[in-house]
């Protein structure tokens, strides 16, 4: 900045020197020429000795007359030069006195330029201060956010550890309870009457429900910890779906729901974790039966696409509200069906999503309120072919 100011000062000094030279040339040369013309044509009868003093007096007189406008011009130039130096140095410039000539218009232009520069400088200073304040607030917010994220991460790890330990501790006693109830129902410990069988059946079903919830919690903790394992083998996907249909047939019969199997006969075998894909199909089919009204129907379909196999499970139950469709796969999100009590932890569909996506597939839902829902998931063929050819 100092180098620029020094350079500008040197330039202004050069302007002053040029102005002085112009002043000398502009005043003396025309005056000498005027004196010569007067001496040559106006006073031809006067002798040279008498002519010289008259010429000198005329020169001095005309010079005096020329000095007045030239001095005003030099004064204006000097003010303009000094004003430009102040503007260049960022100092506040007082408006210059203006005269009605070319230099006056130049001074007017300089005044306007100085006003604009000073206005821009004030705005720049204000914007700079605002920017500094915003930067300070942003840094503060980033630090606060970092602390919050660290705390959330710590709590998330603590939650995952708690869920894992609690689920393990609960699963073993539940398994014992479930097996004991099963043996009583089968008459191993003696014959049970109808009323006892009804209550024991209720306890058995709720034990199964608790076991499912605990398994979901364990799966979630493994997913969050990155410890979930996939044991892929070459599997006939049609057989997987058929096994799930057979396992849920009794549940459907209780509600007089007809399950329609529209699987084609020529679906390819895929390289996947059979137990995990069975878990996905079971969860989707259970939901379809649960949210269907008595006497309804559920349609299971599949088709082979160019790059994947698409499987869909459709019910004709309550459907999903439009505002809930994007939330259906969120963890711990329980969607109200409208006519059934909300049950479960809201982990079934998120776990299905994790399993399908870890198989490099996709899962989604199409639904209309009051008309039912259609859950669709895909499993890729190309990757399976590559893994299969690689020694599966």
pLDDT one digit per residue (tens) for the chain, 392 residues: 455 444 545 455 555 555 556 555 555 555 556 656 555 555 555 555 555 666 666 666 666 655 556 566 666 666 666 666 665 665 665 555 555 555 566 666 766 776 777 787 788 888 888 888 888 889 888 888 888 888 887 877 777 677 667 766 777 787 888 788 888 888 887 888 888 888 888 887 778 777 777 777 777 777 776 777 888 889 999 999 999 998 888 888 888 999 999 999 888 889 999 989 998 999 899 889 988 888 999 999 999 988 899 999 999 988 888 888 888 888 777 666 555 555 666 778 888 998 999 899 999 999 888 889 999 999 998 654 444 433 33
- Token pair recorded at residue 159: 């939650």
Q: Looking at residue 103, what is its pLDDT?
A: 55
Q: Looking at residue 338, what is its pLDDT?
A: 55
Q: Which of 323, 145, 152 is nearest to 224 (CA)?
A: 152
SS3 letters across the chain: CHHHHHHHHHHHHHHHHHHHHHHHHHHHHHHHHHHHHHHHHHCCCCCHHHHHHHHHHHHHHHHHHHHHHHHHHHHHHHHHHHHHHHHHCCCCCCCCCCCCCHHHHHHHHHHHHHHHHHHHHHHHHHHHHHHHHHHHHHHHHHHHHHHHHHHHHHHHHHHHHHHHHHHHHHHHHHHHHHHHHHHHHCCCCCCCCHHHHHHHHHHHHHHHHHHHHHHHHHHHHHHHHCCCCCCCEEEEHHHHHHHHHHHCHHHHHHCCCEEEEECCCCCCEEEECHHHHHHHHHHHHHHHHHCCCCCCEEEEEEEECCCEEEEEEEECCCCCCHHHHHHCCCCCCCCCCCCCCCCCCCCHHHHHHHHHHHCCCEEEEEEECCCEEEEEEEEECHHHHHHHHCCC
CA distance 243 to 235: 13
Residue 301 near residue 366 (C-beta atoms within 8 A): no
- Token pair recorded at residue 194: 């109808």
Residue 233 near residue 384 (C-beta atoms within 8 A): no
Q: What are phi and psi of 255, to 5 degrees?
A: -105, 10
CA distance 58 to 54: 6
**Which residue is it, tokens 């300089």?**
110
The CA-based dihedral angle spanning residues 279, 280, 281, 283, taken in that order and rounded to the nearest 10 degrees: 80
Q: Looking at residue 389, what is its pLDDT?
A: 39
């Amino acid at each position: 900045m100092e180098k620029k100011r020094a350079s500008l000062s040197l330039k202004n000094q050069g302007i002053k020197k040029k102005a002085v030279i112009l002043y000398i040339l502009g005043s003396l040369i025309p005056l000498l020429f005027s004196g010569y013309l007067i001496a040559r044509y106006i006073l031809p009868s006067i002798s040279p000795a008498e002519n010289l003093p008259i010429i000198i007096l005329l020169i001095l007189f005309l010079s005096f007359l020329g000095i007045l406008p030239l001095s005003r011009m030099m004064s204006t130039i000097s003010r303009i030069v000094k004003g430009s130096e102040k503007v260049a140095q960022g100092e506040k410039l007082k408006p210059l006195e203006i005269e009605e000539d070319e230099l006056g218009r130049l001074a007017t232009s300089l005044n306007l330029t100085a006003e604009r520069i000073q206005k821009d400088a004030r705005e720049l200073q204000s914007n700079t201060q605002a920017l500094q304040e915003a930067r300070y607030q942003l840094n503060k917010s980033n630090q606060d956010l970092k602390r919050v994220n660290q705390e959330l991460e710590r709590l998330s790890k603590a939650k995952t550890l708690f869920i894992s330990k609690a689920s393990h501790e609960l699963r073993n006693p539940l398994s014992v309870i479930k097996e004991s109830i099963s043996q009583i129902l089968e008459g191993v410990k003696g014959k049970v009457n109808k009323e006892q069988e009804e209550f024991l059946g209720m306890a058995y079903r709720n034990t199964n429900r608790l076991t499912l919830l605990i398994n979901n919690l364990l799966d979630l903790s493994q997913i969050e910890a990155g410890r979930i394992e996939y044991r892929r083998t070459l599997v006939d996907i049609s057989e997987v779906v058929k096994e799930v249909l057979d396992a849920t047939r009794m549940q459907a019969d209780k509600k007089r729901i007809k399950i329609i199997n529209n699987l084609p006969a020529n679906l390819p075998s895929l390289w996947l974790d059979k137990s995990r894909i069975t878990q996905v199909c079971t969860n989707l089919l259970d939901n379809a039966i649960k949210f269907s009204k008595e006497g309804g129907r559920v349609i299971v379909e599949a088709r082979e696409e160019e790059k994947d196999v698409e499987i869909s499970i459709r019910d004709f139950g309550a459907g999903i509200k439009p505002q809930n469709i994007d939330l259906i796969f969120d963890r711990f999100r329980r969607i109200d069906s409208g006519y059934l009590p909300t049950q479960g932890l809201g982990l079934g569909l998120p776990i299905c999503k994790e399993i399908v996506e870890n198989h490099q597939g996709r899962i989604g839902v199409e639904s209309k309120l009051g008309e039912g829902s259609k859950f669709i998931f895909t499993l890729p063929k190309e990757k399976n072919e590559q893994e299969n050819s690689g020694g599966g």
